[in-house]
Structure 1
Amino acid sequence: MAKGDFSLELLPFGICTTSMYFTSLALCTKSEKVFHFIFPWAITGSLISLVVADLHYALPHFRYIPYFGNHGFFLLANLYFLIVLKYRFTYKNLLKSGLIIFIYSIVMIPINYLLDTNHLFLRELPEPAQPMFYWMGDVWVIGFMFSIFLLFHLIYAPLYLYNKKHPIELVKTV
């Protein structure tokens, strides 16, 4: 930024930046509520980013390693909550988190146009993902949002099976 190369794309409004900050907050506070909010965002965002990297640099470039390190961090950190800390994630948590990201997306659409940015990929998808939604024309963003919601459900499927097999035992008080 000292060279005057600041970009509004660097503002922390993207899904991955949001996931990184809230995952870090959840780790520092051990907050199960923050985990419930960020889990599907972090898992979906990190998996998509690790497979369809929106990166303009190759391995020798110094930004390559932090990109994959950050995305790997919030993937592993959220798995840590599930596996090590034994936090539970329910369908109700999924619906709440999905509603929050939907509202966040609706708010970000005009902000992206005002700032001429592409946070949450709501104006343009990374090149490798474009063919999946090209056929939808100008309403591709609706299909994109729906596919994210489907991915949330796909990620939730193994948790549903686990929760069904290991129900939460309620403690009775006398």
Structure 2
Amino acid sequence: MEKFFSLYYKGQPLKVFSPHHRAALYVILGVIILLYIFRDKLREEPLKKTSRYTIGTLLLVQQLLYYAWHIYTGIWSLQESLPFNLCAVTIFLEIIMLFSERYDIFEIIYFFGLGGATQALITPDIQGYGFPHFRFFQFFIAHGLIVIIVFYMVFVYQYRPTIKSIIKTFKMLIAFGIIVAVVNLLTGGNYSYLCEKPPSPSLMDILGPWPWYILSLLGIATLTFIIVYLPFAIKDYIEKRKEVKKAKSKV
């Protein structure tokens, strides 16, 4: 058990798309598929409320365990342990949303979750830790739940974003970036990788040096928001076409 929580990990570090990495991704994908299959059942009370509270509690517990691990190993610091990474903010927003059913928060976490956490899952940055260390499980549970909860709200609660949601989320992203920049300046940290790129391979590696990769990331974020909105845009277009054809047939 001590090795499980140890700061010094002597096992093999996680490699992108290694068997353990792929297995974690398959589990997350499997849960999403199950959510879709059983979406009607999950809409029934009291299961609907129970599942929402259970997922929210699980998300909160894993995040508290992450901070507890920082304290236990003696690495807690203002530079690395504050919740000023995009995924950490998304986690706390999702917890509030799950316990309050707030649609206005869903509008933001839909894009933050699918845009940010998905990229993190594909190129995980776990500082050299791997299976079966605590950080391996915590990382994939945290980021996996971020994505799973987005689909949960879409499938079960039938929430959906709008064009205005994209604009709202982009404004939120800019405001968050300004706040994080100030926090980094005050603490000497590198929250949200605004000061330098992560040590592990990531999309940022092909986006140029600092600070230009930050501007590139804003462009990619905008494109990503549009892409993840496309399923709803296509659905709206198809339904509108059907309505037009139906109206013409009655004439």
Partner residue, 1:47: 118
Q: Distance in 2 between matches of 1:3 and 1:125?
A: 25
Where does residue 175 of structure 2 map in the other structure?
103
Greater Cα offset, 25-34 or 108-117: 108-117
2:230 maps to 1:157:
yes
Say if 2:196 and 2:210, in contact at 8 Å, map to a contact too: no
Partner of 1:5: 75
Distance 1:101 1:68 in 2: 23
Q: 1:5: how far off?
A: 2.3
TM-score, normalization: structure 1?
0.87
* Structure 1 segment 85-100 matched on structure 2, within 5 A: 85-100=157-172
Match of 2:207 in 1: 133
C-alpha RMSD over aligned residues:
1.7
| In 2: Cα distance, 1:89 partner to 1:138 partner | 31
Q: Report the Cα distance in structure 2 between the residues aligned to 1:3 and 1:131, rounded to whole angstroms.
A: 30
Structure 2 CA distance for aligned equivalents of residues 119 and 162 of structure 1: 37
**Which amino acid letter does the alignment assign opposite residue 80 of structure 1?**
Y
Tell me which amino acid in the other structure corresponds to 2:206: M
> How far 1:77 sits from its partner (Å)?
0.6
Note the 1:11-26 alignment, pairs <5 A.
11-26=82-97
Give the CA deviation at 1:40.
0.5
1:54 match: secondary structure: coil
Distance 1:49 1:3, change over 3 A: closer
Question: Aligned partners of 1:102 and 1:166: how far apart in 2?
Answer: 34
Percent of aligned pairs with the same amino acid: 25
Unaligned runs of 5+ in 2: 1-70, 241-251
Task: Report how many aligned residue pairs link the two structures.
Answer: 166
Question: Could you state the TM-score of these two structures normalised by the residue count of structure 2?
Answer: 0.62
Against the structure 1 CA distance between its residues 165 and 111, is the aligned structure 2 distance closer, same or farther, given a 3 Å change threshold?
A: same
Distance in 2 between residues matched to 1:30 and 1:86, nearest whole Å: 12
Structure 1 counterpart of 2:145, which letter? Answer: F
Equivalent of residue 152 in structure 2, options 61, 76, 80: 80
Contact in 1 for aligned 2:184/2:190 (Cα 8 Å): yes
User: What CA distance in whole angstroms lies between the structure 2 residues aligned with 1:30 and 1:141?
Assistant: 33
C-alpha offsets along residues 17-51 of structure 1, whole Å, 9 cap, x if unaligned? 11111111111111111111221011111101100
Q: Aligned to 1:116, which of 181, 184, 188?
A: 188
Letter of the structure 2 residue corresponding to residue 78 of structure 1? V
Structure 1 pair 85–142 and aligned structure 2 pair: CA distance change class (3 A): same
Q: Against the structure 1 CA distance between its residues 137 and 109, is the aligned structure 2 distance closer, same or farther, given a 3 Å change threshold? A: closer
* 1:31-90 Cα shifts (integer Å, max 9, x gaps): 111111221011111101100111121112111011001111010111111112111210
